[in-house]
Structure 1
């Protein structure tokens, strides 16, 4: 459990650590805003496009070694990104994105295999750790950069990667023997479902995750500017709104497992998550003065949504091998769509000169999550 949570701290933090020093990086490297944006958008694209490759790697190496490979990739990418020059920064960013993709696919599979009886609770704690890692690096990167420069500030987080790798190795060293052979054996055994990717629940969860991830990355990218435009907030207050959106994810991450225990089917949980998402968008449209409440509800929704979808993957997988394949497909398809979220919303805001149309697009993504997620939750569980 400790190894999983330490691993999770490194699955979003290294990406968002760039955000508060992005303008400094752009000035130092002599690049424009669009190029600098690649340092945050490239990893999300990797999450989508590289998920099949991540599933293949985990099948060949085994879960235990696969996670160590992912941590090694995050470590190498973090150091490379801090070296001199734009090519190194981009190469390091891609390396981090590819390595985190392996982790994204691996964690739900590890939880479903080794902690199945507590899967909902562990998935909630995992989702919370993703947000804690993000907030930790968002909060501390700037103070470190003020003392040492942005390169050292970003590279300093490699220490957390090393700690996670040591704990993971210690926790799994007795399991690593034969994991690759076991994975190959699992892949050679036919799943009880004739063709796993034809199951409606797999496609339903893929579409639902696409809606969830699109809304999350679009709101994360543009919420500070929206609050400045619509409410006249200064940068500090707008940043506080973004912090509320990220921090309150902990409520959803820990609350959804409790609700799944009370409402095992999952339909009411998905519906409640979508209502909280809708409160964010509708609230900002019709009553923007209540933005702290809407940001809090949206934050709980984004933390609860990803927890609910991962719980449904674990619940509906027939085997460890199918869990890995479903995790790769759901996240691969979802993150490809999510990578377009900030660009689509930003383009619509520029074209219309306001936030109504962009927010309506986010509303459409939430509607997709609601319909696909409800249908997936209604699918009978495998016996």
Structure 2
């Protein structure tokens, strides 16, 4: 398969990105559907079981330098193939042994996913036409949510039929298909990402009017650094709000609204499903106005979630849907900025690594801090104020970064 950024190749590019997206969150979600069976079968404590979701997110933060170096040395196609191979190996390992093997497989999954997290924005910057970047980023974000929901809904029935080990291993079939696709695609890919000073501009970039991207002035470099710093702040807020809400919303609804665990889980799942609306809504709004307008709408939606749960908790279904739209669109808005400000693959990889490194550290800290606040105060007001503070950080970072990127 010849690699090309022409219009005829775009569907293949999008197909490859979608295949990656299906394997970048679902393996983390799968154990949550059968966590009781995993604990019973392995003897994991509650804290150990928490590592099944917390460990990959922590590795997203600490393994980003490895991902950046891998992209620079081998190129994004090979990096994606390594990502999927690692996820496949980790998923099978996690299903095959006692507690220590389960956690080792989980760690491998997290480290491998980090490669894909950083490589996909590089691929989008290089291979997707400028006017379709937000739409493809939205498809990427939406596919992660769709994959997560499919796994969440399908793992428990599979476990009842074949046991939890086979249930969480079965999803590796999707990863194997994606790996086969990318092994074929990488054959004609360049060996590595060119250094920023010498790399040619992507045809999808505004810098494509010249054969090579001109050297940036000191003012232009400082402008880009400011935008990246703001995106770090935005993604810290996005990730902290998302993971704290995901971790504690079901229990909060059980304790405050008297819902049965199954009902609270179903209600909280609306927070995940509605993300699809936000992921595809951002490119629609951005195409008709500016990206910062979409960012402003999402900021308002994000803030409504904790404020609504504090002021009118009986309307939790509405607040869950509004917050879900915000979290799906927020990811799309943040990562749509990277191709706008990056003139080379190396710059895109560096920006993606910085943004995700900071954001996933916040994601690692937010759920336990929210749980500690709940224990300390005996209620959910303090955890919701933490979510509110996170959404305000998202608002400040996103609004300023998108406005600056419109002028970049």
State the TM-score bracket (shorter-chain normalisation). over 0.9
Q: Secondary structure at the match of 1:379?
A: helix
Kindly state the Cα deviation for residue 286 of structure 1 after the two structures are TM-superposed.
Answer: 1.0
Asked if residue 161 in structure 1 is aligned to residue 161 in structure 2, the reply is: no
* Equivalent residue runs for 1:149-188 within 5 Å: 149-170=163-184, 172-173=185-186, 175-176=188-189, 178-180=190-192, 183-186=193-196
Question: Equivalent residues in 2 for 1:218-297 (5 A)?
Answer: 218-264=244-290, 266-297=291-322
Question: What are the ranges of 5 or more consecutive residues in structure 2 without an aligned counterpart?
Answer: 1-13, 200-213
CA distance in 1: counterparts of 2:304 and 2:42, whole angstroms: 40
> Quick one: structure 1 residues 289 and 382, their matched pair in 2 at CA, closer, same or farther if it must change by over 3 Å?
closer
Correspondent of 1:138 among 152, 159, 168: 152
- Per-residue Cα deviation, 1:38-78 (whole angstroms, up to 9, x for no partner): 11100000111111210111111111111001100001100
Q: CA deviation at 1:102?
A: 0.6
How far has the Cα of 1:382 moved from its partner? Answer: 6.9
Partners in 1 of 2:271 and 2:216 — Cα distance? 41
Does the 8 A contact of 1:10 with 1:161 survive in 2?
A: yes
8 Å CA contact retained: 2:337, 2:405: no
Match of 1:62 in 2: 75
User: Matched residues in 2 for 1:141 and 1:281: separation?
Assistant: 30
Which of 354, 358, 374 does residue 399 from structure 2 map onto? 374
In structure 1, the residue matched to 2:117 is 104
- Structure 2 match to 1:124: 138
Cα shift readout 1:332-365 (whole Å, capped 9, x = no counterpart): 1111111111101011011111001110111001
Mapped to 1, the partners of 2:352 and 2:197 lie a distance apart of 15
Q: 1:201 aligns with which of 227, 235, 248?
A: 227
Q: Which secondary structure state, in structure 2, belongs to the residue aligned with residue 17 of structure 1?
A: helix
* Distance of aligned partners of 1:382 and 1:70 in 2 relative to their CA distance in 1, 3 Å threshold: farther
State the distance in 2 between where 1:48 and 1:115 align: 26
SS of 1:179's partner is: coil
Select which of 29, 38, 63 maps to 2:42: 29
Secondary structure class of the residue paired with 2:24: coil
Of the candidates 28, 43, 47, which is equivalent to residue 60 of structure 2? Answer: 47
Question: Structure 1, residues 9-41: CA drift from partner, whole Å, max 9, x if none?
Answer: 110000010101112111211121011101110
TM-score (norm 2): 0.89
Partner of 1:86: 99
**1:196 to partner: Cα distance:** 7.0
Per-residue deviation at 1:116? 3.0
1:303 maps to 2:328: yes
CA distance in 2 between partners of 1:108 and 1:380 (Å): 16
1:237-284 deviation digits (Å, cap 9, x = unpaired):
1011121010000000000011111222x2222111011112211111
Q: Which residue of 2 aligns with 1:192?
A: 216
- Equivalent position of 2:11 in the other structure: none
Instruction: Please point out which of 370, 385, 397 is paired with 1:360.
Output: 385
Note the aligned Cα RMSD (angstroms): 1.7
1:174 shift after superposition: 5.0
TM-score by length of 1: 0.95
Q: How many residues align?
A: 378
Deviates more, 1:269-278 or 1:246-255: 269-278
